[in-house]
Amino acid sequence: MSNQDNQIVPWNPSDLVVIPTTADTPSAIVEFGRATLTKRDIQSIIAGFDAQGYEMVSTFVWTKAAATMKKQVATLGMEFVGEMLGRPDLNDDSDPTTAIADHEVITLAEDLGMITATQALRLKHSLQIVTHFASLDEKEAEEEAMQKEEAVSLLRTCVTSILGKPRFEAAMQFADFRKRLGEQTLSSGSGDVTAIQTSPYFFVRTTLSVLLSMIKTQQGATLEHAVGNCMVLVPSLWGRLREPERWQIGQAYAEVNASGNRLASGGLKKALLDVHGFDFVPETLRSSTYTEAAAKVLSAHFSMNNFFNERDPMQSLANLGTTIPMPAFAKCMEAALAVRLGNVWGEAWSAQSAANQLLSSLRPTQWEYYFNECLWRDRTVLDKLTDESKPVSRWCGLVAELVHSEFVPKDKNVASLLAASRSGNSNLVMRTAREIRSAL
């Protein structure tokens, strides 16, 4: 491209809001949230702290923060959000506040550079705190009340990560990046292709999701540009792609071919032929059923009353069949392991049988695939292994029970994690998991 202003370049991750350490009271912290909070909101938050209603005020703050972030990501298009989250049930008519789960919007915001990895970890911890205390019955609530320090920490996290931003600059940059991918066709060897090739992996993964979403949903010139860009980028990126992303491309080809979209199927077919990638085209589209079932498990796991609500969706997932389609494998493992590991407070006993049913049915080659291709980007599992003692203990037990003792993963960090898990060294498991998590 002749004009540098027209170049497609990856967006910059996260703009930050810094609250000085001297601002250590709720009234001082909430002042930094005026970008999104009304005067009435601020007064309500301060009054809630003054009345020692820590559960109530934390739920209010969290609800405001989650809704703000969901509205922001929804501006990118709910079809695209569905592609990023592996949620084929989402479309542009979906209501973001109800269709996107809180844990999903945190993951998506991290992928788009709207929040940092550290902010994502803190937000997930805040979500756990809110859902835990909201799920307690009256007697438990009296005995295990939320502490002021927990509520203040949650407020600070929500303000610095979400509520303190008048707009998410990273999301705006990403929206421009996405728009350009649908307005220009790249040429092989151009500076634009090189910039994407040499970007961190999450840029590469997100770029693919953008293009595949356009190919499945757009028409006219936008579709033509998206198809052309896939024909250029898929061959140039194929060597870097992990198998879940390769399956994502194959799944997209199967979908557009089945729908009769000749332009889209022709372009993806050429791209796959160029890389000998038809091994990654599923024979059927049943993977969508597995993916949706896994999403329901995760939604229950991260929502209120999860110990009660995980059983039915986990049983539904386990009962779908004995062979998980490869395009859905990573998502199904994330869901089953989330149930098996539980959280800092325990696990859903009633869902354990179904989770074990799925996990114990896996062949050794499937466990190898998970550790080699999926674990390094499974944020749900890695987050549980970073600092939660109960999930770490259950993980070590799972590894000893189900993973072949002589298997060594390709990635040295994942290999170290597996070795620490086999030895039962919880501190080393957490330290190694943090290293893998920080490299995402």
Helix axes 349-360, 311-318, angle to 10 degrees: 20
pTM (two decimals):
0.77
Please write the tens of the pLDDT for every residue from 57-90: 999 999 999 999 999 888 888 888 887 887 878 8
56 against 13, higher pLDDT: 56
d(CA 78, CA 369): 30
DSSP code, position 160: I
Could you tell me if 387 and 429 are in contact, meaning their C-beta atoms sit under 8 angstroms apart? no
Residue 414 has pLDDT above 60, yes or no: yes
Mean pLDDT lowest for which of 28-42, 107-121, 335-349? 107-121
Element at 184 (helix H, strand E): none
Could you tell me if 311 and 354 are in contact, meaning their C-beta atoms sit under 8 angstroms apart? yes
The percentage of residues in the chain with a pLDDT greater than 90, rounded to a whole number, is 64
SS3 255: helix
Report the pLDDT value the prediction gives residue 6, as an integer from 0 to 100: 57
With tokens 């996290």, the residue in question is: 157
Which of the given ranges, 163-172, 223-232, 317-326, has the highest pLDDT on average? 223-232
Distances (CA, A) of 213 to 55, 238, 264, 268: 39, 18, 11, 13
437 against 339, higher pLDDT: 339
Report the pLDDT value the prediction gives residue 305, as an integer from 0 to 100: 87
14 — pLDDT class (breaks 50, 70, 90): low
Burial of 255 (0-12, 13-18, 19+ CB in 10 A): buried
Kindly report the average pLDDT of the chain as a whole number.
89
Burial of 46 (0-12, 13-18, 19+ CB in 10 A): middle
Residue 316 has pLDDT above 90, yes or no: yes
Report the pLDDT value the prediction gives residue 1, as an integer from 0 to 100: 36
d(CA 63, CA 212): 32
Helix axes 262-274, 220-237, angle to 10 degrees: 10
* CA neighbor of 11 nearest in space, from 199, 210, 164: 199
The sign one gets for the Cα dihedral 64, 69, 70, 74 is positive
Q: How many CA atoms lie within 13 A of 137 on its CB side?
A: 2
Please write the tens of the pLDDT for every residue from 76-133: 888 888 878 878 788 888 999 999 999 999 988 888 888 888 899 999 999 999 998 8
Strand stretches in 16-152, DSSP E: none
Mean pLDDT along residues 152-159: 96
Paired with 343 in beta bridges are 346
Tokens representing 198 are 């040499």
**End-to-end Cα, the chain, rounded Å:** 31
Residue 4 has pLDDT above 60, yes or no: no
Residue 145 has pLDDT above 90, yes or no: no
2 — pLDDT class (breaks 50, 70, 90): very low
Contacting residues for 123 by C-beta, under 8 A, at least 6 apart: 65, 106, 115, 157, 158, 161, 162
Report the pLDDT value the prediction gives residue 3, as an integer from 0 to 100: 44
260 — pLDDT class (breaks 50, 70, 90): very high
* CA neighbor of 105 nearest in space, from 133, 126, 84, 88: 84
The rounded Cα 254 to chain-centroid distance in angstroms is: 24
Amino acid at 52: Q
DSSP code, position 395: H
d(CA 293, CA 283): 20
Tokens representing 370 are 């998970």
Burial of 272 (0-12, 13-18, 19+ CB in 10 A): buried
